[in-house]
């Protein structure tokens, strides 16, 4: 039975809330005012988001359904009811994706010179090219595998493309035969065609389908359809068991390659017989089969957005701007001695964060560098700097979180490389994921030892720092440095989290501190004092904090929340949450910063954090919440948060029934696009700094020497 959560539930369902976020992203793909390659990127994002959702969230619900678990979630839905509702909405999303691609995006791309062609649209020269590519490059690589329902089904890679081929019976009266052909991953999927202006291409699976008869000489091909499977990736290490964590993580990666199929995507053109065979062979329910009316794996189409010479089909360039307070000609240590620095990425350059680590690696006065690495890039300059420092004799401590989902393999490699370079490597904390974003550089200076600290909301990844909207806070103030040392001493040793001077850490301190702050606002409001709570985060699902917000709302506190994705709080319910508004921004950059503001009787308290308000972050992860103090930085952070809350161009409002409506400007709320305001502010500040008149300093003669 498919049942949505009833309106009398105090909470919205987490899985359906996430799907609603993906529908908001899909609306960007459908927005006719955006250039076609920008729309294609949003469509591709919905596809890659869905891949992870099925691997993790659906993968986690499936075993509960099989075990007959009927215990409801906070929204009152059992695992079976959640899976039924998920299937219904995700089938709707797939239909929207391909209708948008077929009717909205690809016609505009064709006009702009990017053309996906069917084989029957090729001219003779192009067809010869395709046939040549198949026989010279593909045919030697392809390996068809005979399959049947009686024999063990071959192991297929999750999220990999394959073709199911139905062949004529070997003899009269026998049933059809079946074979699989895996589409090679190391061959470009978009086969460029000659003789066309712009970029014309055919899909690799179309080429193989057209020539598949060459793989089965003398046998009639009855049917050939592309398909793709998604495997359960909701697996974790048993840290209560003895053994090396590195070896256990390698076992988890192997298990994922062999886990159950939780979704089967197959071309809608496939025959009923082919669909039935694959359903039976892969043991998937009808609800988990997605007959796709277009190309599979839309996420791969993101690559088309990087084609050269297609600027007219893209949104205008927003490049990260130089930060006037951190000139590149000045050592970052000198910059921070003048005062703490708050940066807003990607509008402001990530360069000062990189330079902190890079300059420390080459500085003879650096005594130690300690850093948490959760997700880093393939050729990470941060890791390169840490290795260089370790090889030079600097005491480097790197906590490399091996349990960072889908980055485990890369992090294992980085951990090995850092250890070989001489760094002290910690594989996370037993029983928890370390998700905190922190780096501390310990430096010998004339006045003594000084600690330079970076606290952030995003990963140490210079690539994602150009597309994720995040906050960096850099300082050499003593209290922040002391807290950084306490943090690292705790997680690298056996001690419990100690009392910090300014920061708070999960799993012990963040939720109690947030409850204290929320309850303080409620008490002020009851006493007739000014109050208010503004907060920005990626997800809100923690029942305890949601109940605290409900109680504050009942006390009369005005609460404004900017929640990008999952939100289980039900706003606008009379007597429960009528003083709570929830908005969500979906725009060019992925909103990722966590910012919390409490009115505090007119002396606002502002925080940044690595943690969303979710049970996993507050109970099962090592996270940090950092106060931002000092007038200039606090005012800047306050402006960022208020601008997000005031967005009327790319913002959606959450209704009490869990649906979203797009906000529109009106007489009281003028048109404001927050991300554009951030970019313009960064550009104007950088431009103003570049226009500053030079300061002329006369060269004076040296003092004459006194004769002895």
Alpha-carbon gap, residue 644 to 677, rounded angstroms: 10
pLDDT band of 492, cuts 50, 70, 90: confident
Instruction: Please report the pLDDT score of residue 3 as a whole number.
Output: 40
DSSP class of 501: S
Phi, psi values for residue 374, rounded to 5°: -110, -60
> How many other CB atoms are found less than 10 A from the CB of residue 49?
19
3-state SS, residue 603: coil
Of 402-416, 495-509, 649-663, the range with the lowest mean pLDDT is: 402-416
- Burial of 267 per CB tally in 10 Å (0-12, 13-18, 19+): buried
Instruction: Please report the pLDDT score of residue 499 as a whole number.
Output: 84
Considering only CA atoms, give the Rg of the chain. Answer: 28
pLDDT tens for 403-436 read 767 667 888 888 899 999 999 999 888 889 999 9
The residues carrying an active-site annotation are: 435
- Do 120-297 and 332-500 fold alike per CATH? no
pLDDT tens for 511-557 read 999 999 999 999 999 999 999 999 999 999 999 999 999 999 999 99
Instruction: Please report the pLDDT score of residue 238 as a whole number.
Output: 47
* Pair 340, 473: CB distance under 8 Å: yes
pLDDT band of 242, cuts 50, 70, 90: very low
* Pair 357, 363: CB distance under 8 Å: no
Q: Are strands 533-537 and 660-662 parallel, antiparallel or unpaired?
A: unpaired
Cα 314 to its chain centre, rounded Å, is 22
Position 178 pLDDT exceeds 70: yes
CATH of 120-297, one of 3.30.1840.10, 3.40.50.300, 1.10.490.10, 3.60.20.10: 3.30.1840.10
Alpha-carbon gap, residue 249 to 420, rounded angstroms: 19
Instruction: Please report the pLDDT score of residue 133 as a whole number.
Output: 94
- The secondary structure element, H or E, covering residue 170 is none
**DSSP per position, 320-388:** PBP-TTS-TTS-HHHHHHH--EEEEETTB-SHHHHHHHHHHHH-TTEEEEEEEESS--TT-HHHHHHHH
Q: 297: left (phi > 0), else alpha (psi -120 to 50), else beta? A: left
The tokens for 649 are 């161009």
Q: What is the mean pLDDT of the chain?
A: 91
Alpha-carbon gap, residue 284 to 557, rounded angstroms: 49
pLDDT tens for 355-401 read 999 999 999 999 999 999 999 988 999 999 999 999 999 999 999 98
pLDDT tens for 12-56 read 999 999 999 999 999 999 999 999 999 999 999 999 999 999 999
Q: Does domain 505-689 have CATH number 3.30.870.10?
A: yes
- The secondary structure element, H or E, covering residue 625 is strand 621-627
Alpha-carbon gap, residue 53 to 31, rounded angstroms: 24
pLDDT band of 90, cuts 50, 70, 90: very high
Q: Which among 581, 572, 338 has a CA at the least distance from the CA of 477?
A: 338
332-500: CATH topology is: Endonuclease; Chain A (3.30.870)
Ranges of H-type helices in 33-76 = 36-53, 59-66
Q: Which among 78, 59, 62 has a CA at the least distance from the CA of 70?
A: 78
Alpha-carbon gap, residue 620 to 434, rounded angstroms: 9
Alpha-carbon gap, residue 86 to 13, rounded angstroms: 11
* Pair 582, 461: CB distance under 8 Å: no
Instruction: Please report the pLDDT score of residue 234 as a whole number.
Output: 76
Q: What are the Cα distances from residue 539, in Å, to 22, 89, 180, 564?
A: 13, 20, 41, 7
Q: Which among 528, 529, 569 has a CA at the least distance from the CA of 551?
A: 569
pLDDT tens for 115-130 read 999 999 999 999 999 9
Q: Which among 216, 135, 222, 131 has a CA at the least distance from the CA of 181?
A: 216
Class of domain 1-112: mainly alpha
* Pair 59, 262: CB distance under 8 Å: yes
DSSP class of 502: S
Phi, psi values for residue 587, rounded to 5°: -145, -160
Ranges of H-type helices in 112-237 = 124-133, 204-211
The residues, any chain, with a CB within 8 Å of residue 50's CB and separated by 6 or more, are: 22, 90, 93
DSSP class of 628: -
The tokens for 264 are 């089967």
Phi, psi values for residue 654, rounded to 5°: -80, 125
Alpha-carbon gap, residue 160 to 495, rounded angstroms: 45
Position 184 pLDDT exceeds 80: yes
DSSP class of 441: E
3-state SS, residue 192: strand
Position 504 pLDDT exceeds 90: yes
Residue 653, strand partner residues: 583, 661
> How many other CB atoms are found less than 10 A from the CB of residue 441?
30
Taking residues 670-694, report their average pLDDT.
90
DSSP class of 120: G
Delimit the domains of the chain by residue range. 1-112, 120-297, 332-500, 505-689
Please tell me the total number of residues recorded for the chain in this structure.
708
3-state SS, residue 110: helix
Alpha-carbon gap, residue 332 to 369, rounded angstroms: 15
pLDDT tens for 213-233 read 999 999 999 999 999 999 988
The residues, any chain, with a CB within 8 Å of residue 533's CB and separated by 6 or more, are: 517, 518, 521, 549, 552, 557, 558, 559, 560, 596, 597, 598, 599
Q: Which residue has the tokens 């950084």?
A: 484
pLDDT tens for 451-489 read 999 999 999 999 999 999 999 999 999 999 999 999 999
Alpha-carbon gap, residue 586 to 14, rounded angstroms: 18
- The secondary structure element, H or E, covering residue 99 is helix 79-99
Alpha-carbon gap, residue 573 to 549, rounded angstroms: 13
Taking residues 680-693, report their average pLDDT.
87
Alpha-carbon gap, residue 576 to 596, rounded angstroms: 22
pLDDT tens for 244-277 read 555 655 665 566 666 889 999 999 999 999 999 9
Q: What are the Cα distances from residue 695, in Å, to 310, 323, 438, 687, 698?
A: 43, 20, 37, 17, 10
Q: Which residue has the tokens 């700094």?
A: 689
* Strand order through the sheet with 161-167: 145-147, 177-182, 161-167, 221-231, 261-267, 289-292
Alpha-carbon gap, residue 593 to 517, rounded angstroms: 20
Longest dimension (CA), the chain: 120
Taking residues 599-612, report their average pLDDT.
97
* Strand order through the sheet with 190-192: 114-116, 199-203, 190-192
The tokens for 66 are 């099989």
The residues, any chain, with a CB within 8 Å of residue 217's CB and separated by 6 or more, are: none
Residue 372, strand partner residues: 399
């Amino acid at each position: 039975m498919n049942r949505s959560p009833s309106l009398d539930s105090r909470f919205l369902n987490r899985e359906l809330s996430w799907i609603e976020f993906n529908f908001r992203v899909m609306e960007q793909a459908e927005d006719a005012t955006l250039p076609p390659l920008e729309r294609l990127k949003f469509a591709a994002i919905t596809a890659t988001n869905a891949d992870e959702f099925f691997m993790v969230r659906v993968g986690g619900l499936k075993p509960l359904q099989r075990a007959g678990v009927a215990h409801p979630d906070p929204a009152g839905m059992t695992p079976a009811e959640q899976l039924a509702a998920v299937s219904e909405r995700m089938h709707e999303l797939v239909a929207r994706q391909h209708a948008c691609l077929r009717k909205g995006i690809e016609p505009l791309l064709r006009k702009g010179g990017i053309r996906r062609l069917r084989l029957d649209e090729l001219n003779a020269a192009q067809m010869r090219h395709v046939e040549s590519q198949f026989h010279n490059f593909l045919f030697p690589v392809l390996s068809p595998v005979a399959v049947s329902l009686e024999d063990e089904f071959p192991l297929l890679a999750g999220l990999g493309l394959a073709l199911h081929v139905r062949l004529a019976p070997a003899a009269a009266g026998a049933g059809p035969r079946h074979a699989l052909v895996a589409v090679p991953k190391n061959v470009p999927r978009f086969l460029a065609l000659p003789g066309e202006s712009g970029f014309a291409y055919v899909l690799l699976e179309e080429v193989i389908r057209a020539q598949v008869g060459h793989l089965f000489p003398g046998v009639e091909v009855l049917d050939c359809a592309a398909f793709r499977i998604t495997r359960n990736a909701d697996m974790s290490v048993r840290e209560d068991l003895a053994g090396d964590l590195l070896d256990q993580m390698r076992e988890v990666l192997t298990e994922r390659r062999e886990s159950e199929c939780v979704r089967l995507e197959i071309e809608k053109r496939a025959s009923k017989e082919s669909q039935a065979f694959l359903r039976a062979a892969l043991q998937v329910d009808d609800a988990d089969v997605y007959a796709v009316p277009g190309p599979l794996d839309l996420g791969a189409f993101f690559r088309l957005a990087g084609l050269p010479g297609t600027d007219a089909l893209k949104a205008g360039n927003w490049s990260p701007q130089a930060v006037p307070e951190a000139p590149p000609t000045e050592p970052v240590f000198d910059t921070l001695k003048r005062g703490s620095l708050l940066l807003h990425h990607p509008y402001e350059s990530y360069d000062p964060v990189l330079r902190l680590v890079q300059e420390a690696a080459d500085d003879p006065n650096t005594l130690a560098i300690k850093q948490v690495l959760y997700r880093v890039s393939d050729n990470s300059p941060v890791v390169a700097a840490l290795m260089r420092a370790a090889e030079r004799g600097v005491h480097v401590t790197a906590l490399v979180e091996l349990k960072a989902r889908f980055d485990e393999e890369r992090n294992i490699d980085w951990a090995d490389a850092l250890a070989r370079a001489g760094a002290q490597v910690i594989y996370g904390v037993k029983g928890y994921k370390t998700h905190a974003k922190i780096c501390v550089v310990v430096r010998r200076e004339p006045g003594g030892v000084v600690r330079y600290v970076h606290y952030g909301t995003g990963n140490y990844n210079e690539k994602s720092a150009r597309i994720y909207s995040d906050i960096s806070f850099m300082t050499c103030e003593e209290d922040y440095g002391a807290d950084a040392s306490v943090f690292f001493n705790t997680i690298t040793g056996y001690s419990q989290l100690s009392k910090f001077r300014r920061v708070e850490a999960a799993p012990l301190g963040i939720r109690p501190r947030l409850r204290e702050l929320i309850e303080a606002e409620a008490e002020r409001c009851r006493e007739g004092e000014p109050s208010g709570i503004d907060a920005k985060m990626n997800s809100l699902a923690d029942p305890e904090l949601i109940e605290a917000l409900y109680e504050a709302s009942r006390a009369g506190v005005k609460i404004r929340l900017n929640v990008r994705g999952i939100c289980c709080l039900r706003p606008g319910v009379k007597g429960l949450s009528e003083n709570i508004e929830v908005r969500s921004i979906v725009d060019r950059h992925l909103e990722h910063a966590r910012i919390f503001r409490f009115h505090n009787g007119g002396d606002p308290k502002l925080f940044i954090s690595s943690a969303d308000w979710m049970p996993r972050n507050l109970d099962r992860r090592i996270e940090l919440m950092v106060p931002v103090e000092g007038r200039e930085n606090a005012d800047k952070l306050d402006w960022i948060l208020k601008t997000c809350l005031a967005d009327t161009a790319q913002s959606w409002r959450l209704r009490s029934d869990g649906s979203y409506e797009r906000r529109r400007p009106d007489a009281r709320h003028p048109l404001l696009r927050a991300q554009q305001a951030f970019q313009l502010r960064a550009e104007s500040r950088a431009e103003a700094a570049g226009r500053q008149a030079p300061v002329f300093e006369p060269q004076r003669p040296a003092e004459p020497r006194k004769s002895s």
